[in-house]
Amino acid sequence: MTQIQIYDTTLRDGAQREGLTLSVEDKVKIARQLDKLGVPWIEGGWPGANPKDGEFFRRLQLEPLTQAEVVAFCSTRRPGGLAAEDKMLAAILAAGTKWITIFGKSWDLHVTEGLKTNLGENLEMIRDSIEYLVSQGRRVIYDAEHWFDGYMANPEYALQTLQTAIDAGADWLVFCDTNGGTLPQDISRIVGEVMKSIDPTKQLQFGIHPHNDCELAVANAIAAVTSGVTMVQGTINGYGERCGNANLCSIIPNLQLKLNYSCLTPASLTRLTQVSRYVSEVVNVAPNDYAAFVGKCAFSHKGGIHVSAVERNPFTYEHIAPTQVGNERRIAISEQSGLSNVLIKANEMGLKLTKEDPRTRQILAKLKELEYQGYQFEGAEASFELLMREILGQTSTLFTIQGFQVHCSIATQHHSLATVKVTVDGQNILEAAEGNGPVSALDAALRKALSQFYPELTKCYLTDYKVRIIDGAEGTSAVTRVLVESSNGLHRWTTIGVSDNILEASYQAVAQGIEYGLLVKSPQTCSLVDAL
């Protein structure tokens, strides 16, 4: 089984995604997760380009990773200078890494228009930079920037740049599709042609670095591997500049599970989904629920026929077992659901139901009725669990809302004030609270009123709030759907409200979120929701 070297550049190339910013601590956390995953190469950044990257490498010198090679990244020296006198290369050496990735220009257009120098000087920049780094005891990965564009425009010169890197002492040659515009068949052809032209006695190793501007980065990485390269450079979740880099969360399982290459140990592969979601939390970018392999919906089944078939044999509608990548099967609940959906969800929640039980059809009928009104339970499973438990007679009235008012102002620091009147065990409670919006104020007032009866509510908080207008053609009288995500620090759950009054819909969702949160503490009456 051929070993493919996974080279992660999330901390450098991935951080170039618009809106994504990493602190030093963020970078260290992600690096340690990648190290535990078994990624052999982690590109940490460009020392000297900014203070954060320099500090990151200093941190890892003090507390090294356990198995991964940390790689510093930089460009060739500047035109007209000497590598030995280049301050940028001095900063790279100070990072103390054994391996350095250095990129050079392969495309004559970039040499003349970007560097504003001549083709001969570009070759000298490549040679001088690599030779200097090698003379300082470093090993070099050479990223041939814009390789495919350069090869198609001027193959003779592009090959000269590559041969210069080889002669200077580079260990790895990486073909970069920097603009992300090359098609898979051209990747295969060019990689094959170039690798055949290189002297085999040099014992060089080759890699691929694709970008995703044509939505082909994963396909291009696979095309390069099947043409002979043994390193893939990419990022977790495909983060990167413009449309992103090659997504390692798709590349790794495709290579390992579909093409029988070795990337990670089978045990490490089962941590892929966990690492994907961990990184998304650290970089503060919402996970892509529909991402292949690691997305929440990657193994989700909604149609009743599909659910019934999957229950008998999962491979009827699943191309791999979700546990192979650390994911799980999800049964979505919607108007397209059948009895199988209801029975499976009931089983997941620890509820005993059978196909013959009339309450099963009652639950399904109520589900379809509510979805017709605008509810969407596939995104609000906590509300669906409350619905099922109500029909099964497994709920009790924890509190009753007698009424609420919300006042909004732009003249004060706290823009909204909510008052609520609730009844608990026959006692009427009137409370008020401020918030940075009407829903925040309403949520705070409810918790304030109820916490004296249910002190565990002090650990619960609202984490997300989403609004959708169901029929925009109705204008301000349109029905509004509100989804509220709540958490107690250990678990999270989503509830729904629907009304032609956005505050009424919000109240429904918030109140149900509180009700569900109170039930979560009692395992005998309520299943645990997904762990954070």
Distance (Å, rounded) from C-alpha 297 to C-alpha 458? 32
For the domain 400-520, what is the CATH superfamily, name and number?
Alpha-isopropylmalate synthase LeuA, regulatory domain (3.30.160.270)
Fold held by 300-391:
Recoverin; domain 1 (1.10.238)
- Tokens linked to 181: 């515009």
**Residues of the chain falling short of pLDDT 70:** 303-304, 307, 332-338, 378-379, 410-414, 471-477, 520-532
- Fold matches, 5-264 and 300-391: no
Strands (E), 385-511: 400-408, 416-424, 427-435, 461-469, 480-487, 492-499
Distance (Å, rounded) from C-alpha 512 to C-alpha 92? 55
Q: Where are the domains of the chain?
A: 5-264, 300-391, 400-520
State residue 276's pLDDT score. 95
Distance (Å, rounded) from C-alpha 68 to C-alpha 390? 52
Residues 6+ apart with CB under 8 A from 44: 11, 12, 27, 31, 53, 56, 57, 60, 70, 71, 72, 73, 95, 97
Q: Partners of 493 in the beta sheet?
A: 486
How many residues are listed for the chain in this entry?
Answer: 532
First to last CA, the chain: 36
Helix (H) or strand (E) holding 249: helix 248-253
DSSP 77: P
Dihedral, CA atoms, 220, 224, 226, 227, nearest 10 degrees? Answer: 140
User: Can you say how many angstroms the Cα of residue 356 is from the centroid of all Cα atoms in its chain?
Assistant: 42
Fold held by 5-264:
TIM Barrel (3.20.20)
Residue type for 490, please? L
Strand order from edge to edge, sheet including 461-469: 461-469, 480-487, 492-499
Radius of gyration of the chain (CA): 28
Q: Partners of 69 in the beta sheet?
A: 41
- Are the beta carbons of 105 and 99 closer than 8 angstroms? no
State residue 522's pLDDT score. 38
Q: At what angle do helices 339-348 and 381-391 cross, to 10 degrees?
A: 100
Q: At what angle do helices 24-37 and 272-283 cross, to 10 degrees?
A: 180
- Are the beta carbons of 47 and 12 closer than 8 angstroms? no
